[in-house]
Chains A and B, each alone.
Chain A
């Protein structure tokens, strides 16, 4: 997948879809990053004030570390990566070898419900991405 340049139209479609699918569900902030720590896009509910650039760098490092650990114990990957806090949680999901979808959400959403929607969102992202190649 050539992820280096995405057309404006593709990004807009992805942004709309992320807002529809995840932000409206109650997710505080959702972002797509690449494994190098670059932000492809970030959407939030207008209230969260995260430093998304630092977050993306750390998230990429975190995911890469867990991935390397998986390989060490003979797993292809640990497909669920989830951090639970008192008030906020972070869910990581792999879109493909280069891209990650990260959702930050509070205690009002259940993990299961979020995962269902994330799976759906990823499916849609892949479709949008593969359109013009």
Chain B
């Protein structure tokens, strides 16, 4: 749940990047951190293993300016993608306002995407949230690999696997090159802010 401070006129919004391991969640945040450095006042926090895998979460806060006199503070989190870390994944989801599901478009990751999305559904249920109600954006990451001859799932297959029932906005993206990273972020911020406004009215 977002926290709204009426005294200081600050709204804190929690957005979580979720998805299978090595899918590019941290890379999304790293790109945002590099590109929007001016708006980001603090350092990105990464809790990772020696092998550079996310252990607990990455955290990146930034200011989005004002809406109707309220400062919007966006807090971006990633979850650890590795299967064994579901307990910590669940902890990060606590109080989430919006989710970006970063799917790995590589053909061999097809099953992992589906499993991860199913687990997101379960994890949200444990907080009495619904995957069908929470602001969600799909990102089909790593589309740049096609140029390197690596088999990529066609967009129709990804849509059918992951988005046929959810019907949420989606983007093909490359977190490494930055392609559609900002577009994904903008979309989830606008959906989330609109959803918070609706809850308040």
Mark A residues whose CB is within 8 Å of B.
3-8, 11-12, 15, 34-41, 51, 53-54, 57-58, 60-61, 64-65, 68
- Cα A72 to Cα B61 in complex, Å, equals 31
Which residues of chain A come closer than 8 Å to B94, judged between CB atoms? 35-36, 60, 64
Residues of B1-51 at the interface with A, using a CB-CB cut-off of 8 Å, are 1-7, 12, 14, 42-43, 45, 47
Which residues of chain A come closer than 8 Å to B75, judged between CB atoms? 37-38, 53, 57
Q: Is the CB of B14 within 8 A of A37?
A: yes
- Cα A93 to Cα B12 in complex, Å, equals 22
Partner of A54, one of B5, B61, B92: B61
- Cα A60 to Cα B200 in complex, Å, equals 25
Which residues of chain B come closer than 8 Å to A3, judged between CB atoms? 1, 3
Q: Is the CB of B3 within 8 A of A40?
A: yes
Mark B residues whose CB is within 8 Å of A.
1-7, 12, 14, 42-43, 45, 47, 56-57, 59, 61, 73, 75, 77, 87-88, 91-92, 94-96, 200
Q: Is the CB of B5 within 8 A of A41?
A: yes
Q: How far is the CB of B166 from chain A (nearest CB, A)?
A: 23
Q: How far is the CB of B201 from chain A (nearest CB, A)?
A: 13
Centre residue among A11, A39, A61, A64 by max chain B CB count within 10 A: A61
- Cα A54 to Cα B2 in complex, Å, equals 16
Which residues of chain B come closer than 8 Å to A40, judged between CB atoms? 3, 5
Known: A3-B3, A8-B6; 7 extra A-B contacts, CB below 8 A, are A4-B4, A39-B3, A51-B43, A54-B59, A57-B61, A58-B47, A65-B56
- Cα A117 to Cα B1 in complex, Å, equals 29
Given contacts A53-B61, A58-B59, A61-B92, contact A4 B5 (CB under 8 A): no
Which residues of chain B come closer than 8 Å to A54, judged between CB atoms? 42-43, 45, 59, 61
Q: Is the CB of B7 within 8 A of A11?
A: yes
- Cα A39 to Cα B42 in complex, Å, equals 15
20 interchain pairs, CB-CB under 8 A: A3-B1, A4-B1, A6-B6, A11-B6, A15-B7, A37-B14, A38-B75, A41-B5, A51-B42, A53-B42, A53-B61, A53-B73, A54-B42, A54-B43, A54-B59, A58-B45, A58-B47, A64-B94, A65-B91, A68-B91
Q: Is the CB of B56 within 8 A of A61?
A: yes
